[in-house]
Amino acid sequence: MKQLLLLLLIGQIFLVGAVLQTEDAVYYDIGGEGEEAVLYDMKSLSEEDAGRAIEMLQEDQMPEPDGAEPEERSVSEVLPISADQTGQPDIQKVNFRSEEAFEIVEFYLSKEVKILRRNQGGSLLRIRMLPAVAPLKPELDAQLQKKLNRFSLHHASNFSEMVFAAGGRIGNPYVASDSKGIFKLCVPYQVEKSSFALKTGEKIAEGLTYYRDRAKVSDRFSDVHILRVEPFSDNLSVFPALANEGIAQKEVLSSMASRYNAVAAINGAYFTSRGDPIGTLIINRRLISSPLYRRSVFGVTEDDTLLFGNPDFSGILRSGVLSLKIDAVNQPRRADALVVFTPEYSRSTLTDEKGVELVLVKGKIVGIHEKDALIPPDGVVVSAGGEKALELAKLKLGQSVELDYSIDRPWNTIRHAVCGGPRLIEDGKTSINGKEEKFDNSIVYGRHPRTAVALTFDGDLLLVVVDGRSKRSAGMKLDELSGYLKTLGARHAINLDGGGSSSMIVRGRTVNSPSDGCERRISNGILISSR
């Protein structure tokens, strides 16, 4: 019987208007004639089956704010929370703060939670939090009810769901953490009607618009080019690409865009003169290059959530009693450093200074070289110089070697990531941390052509290129760039590689004016394609 009911549920979850009744633990489907038919009787099922049923229900059941809304009933009334709340995240306090035309409600959490957006329609937001959070304290619930148009928190055994309504459009919720490690679920929403600052743009694809602006900073003018990717655009994909599909390669951006049939593109991370990306680069869950100096990174998660942060890297090599710190992955080897080179890097390690390089296949040493070892397609090369090379030299052919390295959470599970820096804006406030990220003063304080990526309070992704080093266009200093991005509603923003590398491609044409007079050959780019 249970199996039959589950099959019936699967066949019905896509029908419009399924609601949770308040009188009984029964899900109904509202038919076209307005007649109700019993879809699922929760009381007839075990707690385990009921939990699966709730997860299988159509997620977009919440009506739009202007529609007729049924009386709500907490999921916890159908599937009670266990009495044992040990280890559950707890909402410790709630804070409201204002940022120009936006207000942000911050839920301070005792532990990190994963946020899944369930549905969003204008001023209505429904999200799921994993794992389930502890029930809200009455005084916090009263605070939220007084401040918001609507707020409710529903609980199941392994997740919680929040329904949130405000007076204006709600932006993407996100989880941040402060210096003390306290996690905050932040939900921005408009407190007044506002719109994107630039009124006229060229529609490139559904959800993608190109704008050209003439911005004045101090007593100078600059041409600014903006790609605006609107949130929840299912037909667009944003991803990084390598020059000629390899590291230590260089290629013009228009060529990369053409190879992927991208509708638009900008240049991405800094790179060495040889073409090695500098800092974090993740493509399709593959770690192409490890973090450097905890520089700022822009990332795209599996559910297309946009992240801005400063990931770190750690790793250990072990073989018997030998234990050595891994300093980097797929980056040029520095003195006394130990670097792991994967097949994504190149045909060989490209090292020119003597050291010790171990060729590993399935965790076994199959070759030992001094420099520029070939990288096997099914293995890696561990390369070391200085004191670490002396330690590696103690190992012999055939010995087992264990490599354990990763980026810290949540970057270890991210789909794409591109390193830039310095940070420009954090949580709506100017935050230029050039010293902490070890950038030269010329990058921080000079006026140059610029490339940046930003996330607005509305959830729009902005890819921005500023022309410079010409009579017509002066370029921008980082504080000027930060100020300009804030006029566009930026909540988070980081600087990317600039100067002669700054370039933007829209439908096969270069829309900006590169300061070299033509496209520069670069190491990597950020592309936008139609799915």
Last residue of a domain, one of 369, 386, 406: 406
Q: Is residue 71 part of a domain?
A: no
Give the span between the Cα atoms of 308 and 417, in whole angstroms: 9
* Average pLDDT of span 400-418: 93
Percentage of the chain exceeding pLDDT 70: 79
Last residue of a domain, one of 367, 390, 406: 406
Query: 44 falls in which pLDDT band (50, 70, 90)?
Result: very low
The structure's pTM equals 0.69
Q: Is residue 224 part of a domain?
A: yes
Q: How many domains does the chain have?
A: 4
Going by DSSP bridges, is the β-strand pair 338-341/328-329 parallel, antiparallel, or unpaired?
parallel
Q: Is residue 266 part of a domain?
A: yes
Instruction: Identify whether the C-beta of residue 478 lies closer than 8 Å to the C-beta of residue 446.
Output: no
pLDDT at 387 over 70: yes
Give the span between the Cα atoms of 26 and 134, in whole angstroms: 25
Tell whether 382 and 417 lie within a shared domain.
Answer: no
Q: Is residue 197 part of a domain?
A: no
Tell whether 170 and 239 lie within a shared domain.
Answer: no
* Average pLDDT of span 51-57: 39
Tell whether 237 and 279 lie within a shared domain.
Answer: yes
Q: Is residue 80 part of a domain?
A: no
pLDDT at 83 over 90: no
Query: 486 falls in which pLDDT band (50, 70, 90)?
Result: very high
- pLDDT computed for residue 502 by the predictor: 98
Query: 62 falls in which pLDDT band (50, 70, 90)?
Result: very low
Residue linked to tokens 């293995």: 379
pLDDT at 169 over 90: no
Give the span between the Cα atoms of 144 and 49, in whole angstroms: 33
pLDDT at 284 over 50: yes
Q: How far is CA 141 from the centre of its chain?
A: 30
Q: Is residue 79 part of a domain?
A: no
Tell whether 303 and 436 lie within a shared domain.
Answer: yes
Q: Is residue 76 part of a domain?
A: no
Ordered alpha helix ranges (H), 211-358: 253-259
pLDDT at 41 over 50: no
pLDDT at 33 over 50: no
pLDDT at 514 over 90: yes
Tell whether 258 and 383 lie within a shared domain.
Answer: no
- pLDDT computed for residue 465 by the predictor: 98
Tell whether 221 and 302 lie within a shared domain.
Answer: yes
- pLDDT computed for residue 21 by the predictor: 30
Question: Which domain range does residue 211 map to?
Answer: 202-308+412-530
Tell whether 282 and 210 lie within a shared domain.
Answer: yes
Which of 310-324, 406-420, 508-522 shows the lowest mean pLDDT across its residues?
A: 406-420
Tell whether 321 and 356 lie within a shared domain.
Answer: yes
Tell whether 178 and 248 lie within a shared domain.
Answer: no
Tell whether 291 and 344 lie within a shared domain.
Answer: no
Last residue of a domain, one of 156, 190, 224: 190
Query: 87 falls in which pLDDT band (50, 70, 90)?
Result: confident
* Average pLDDT of span 446-469: 94
Q: Is residue 252 part of a domain?
A: yes
Tell whether 226 and 359 lie within a shared domain.
Answer: no
Kindly report the CATH number assigned to the domain that includes residue 167.
2.60.40.3500
Instruction: Identify whether the C-beta of residue 104 lies closer than 8 Å to the C-beta of residue 186.
Output: yes
Tell whether 416 and 300 lie within a shared domain.
Answer: yes
